[in-house]
Amino acid sequence: MFLLLSFTLFFSRNSRYIRVIPAKDGLNMNESLSNKQIIFIIYGTIVGYGIVGLPRKAVEAAGTSGWICILIAGIISTFVTHMILYLSYVYKDKTLFEYSNILVGKYITYVFVSIYIIYFFIMFTMITRISSEVIRLTILLETPQMVLCIFFYLVAYYAVMKKIRVVGRLNEIYSIITICFIVSIQLTMFSQGKLINLKPYVVTSDVVVYFINSFKMIFSFLGMEILVAIPLTKENDKKIFKYSSFMIIGLTFLYIILTESCIALMGVDDVIHYKDVLFVAIRRVDIQPLQFLRRMDGIFISAWIMVIICSVMLFSYGAILFVDKLFNKIKYNIIVFVVFVLSFVFSQIPKTIAQIEKIIDMLSYLGVVTVLIIPLILFIITKVKRYA
């Protein structure tokens, strides 16, 4: 964990190692990202704490056919991502704060932005706290969760201080590493499972149930709403839509492999009994020829910590960016410090994991507003104005 902190500090203080897109039309160079970095931001926010309980949610939704619910949720997520990217593509060099002001006026924009600030703030705060609890209960039994929270905040703080170009580059590096590890581990799990545990693959009489219960997968696919805080430049061409589709489709199949590997290894009856079913399943993997890899859970948790760091960095950046937009007379560095201090204080309020999970479940409803309702309103107004 401290290696990750050192790595982040190195990149934060040596910005010459970060690839930068030249700024145009008054956009600060710190706010410019390449297409590749943007699609990895989608990965960094969607894949996070939600994958820990994803197999259980899928099984609760449709049993061994849970993969269908994941597939439907992935298709819906692709369209939602395109809608958000379309707004940024039409209004180049602008975040939601600027193009919402153009479309609906200052006062409604303040309401929208305030909702996003609250959502992003609670999201990265609760992700930090619950991830710290999981790490404490799995590998660092003697470490207080408060210390683990501070670690996550330090890593995110140093990255966010350098704004989006450092956040984007770190997220890209961490994402590539974690994709390799997670896919390898899941394929290993799948190879040790039993195909009989995956049957029946589809129950034709439950087609309607699949569509209804696909909404139970919503929290695991939340994250693309961070794109409202990421402006596109002229260098971000139409290929961004194709790349984002590939990323969402890839994540969907990653989720399916993850769920199916857990079911194949444990069976439906066991999967449904564990909240942290993914960690439980990975502990059952045993690679006899490779003694040094017999504890796969340690390798997976290391990769998972990187994913959590990405989520915390990106959601905290989103909250801080919009606070900075609202209070532009206050220095950015002060806003960053205050937001992280407040987040740490609020992260310690819940006393139990059950309370944290309840807050996260409630937050998923606000997520519908930030990922669908607000962007849809602005999308419709944009379409009407363009064709009026």
Is residue 55 within 8 A of residue 263, CB to CB? The reply is yes
Q: Which of 6-15, 92-101, 281-290, 349-358 has the lowest mean pLDDT?
A: 6-15
Confidence of residue 21 (pLDDT cuts 50, 70, 90): very low
How far is Cα 370 from Cα 116, in angstroms, rounded to an integer?
6
Residue 18: which of 156, 243, 172, 232 has the closest Cα?
172
CATH topology of domain 2-12+33-374: Amino acid/polyamine transporter I (1.20.1740)
Residue with the two structure tokens 């999970």: 357
Confidence of residue 49 (pLDDT cuts 50, 70, 90): confident
Confidence of residue 17 (pLDDT cuts 50, 70, 90): very low
Residue with the two structure tokens 């379309």: 86
Confidence of residue 208 (pLDDT cuts 50, 70, 90): confident
CA dihedral 313, 315, 316, 319 (to 10 degrees): 150
Average pLDDT over every residue of 253-281: 83
pLDDT tens-digit readout, 109-127 = 999 999 999 999 999 999 9
Residue 65: which of 264, 206, 176 has the closest Cα?
206
Confidence of residue 29 (pLDDT cuts 50, 70, 90): very low
pTM for the model stands at 0.87
Q: Where are the domains of the chain?
A: 2-12+33-374
Q: Which two tokens stand for residue 171?
A: 């997220």
In three-state form (DSSP H/G/I as H, E/B as E, the rest C), the secondary structure along 87-106 is HHHHCCCCCHHHHHHHHHCH
Query: Is the peptide bond prior to 200 cis by the omega test (within 30 degrees of 0)?
Result: yes
Q: Which residue has the higher pLDDT, 290 or 189?
A: 189
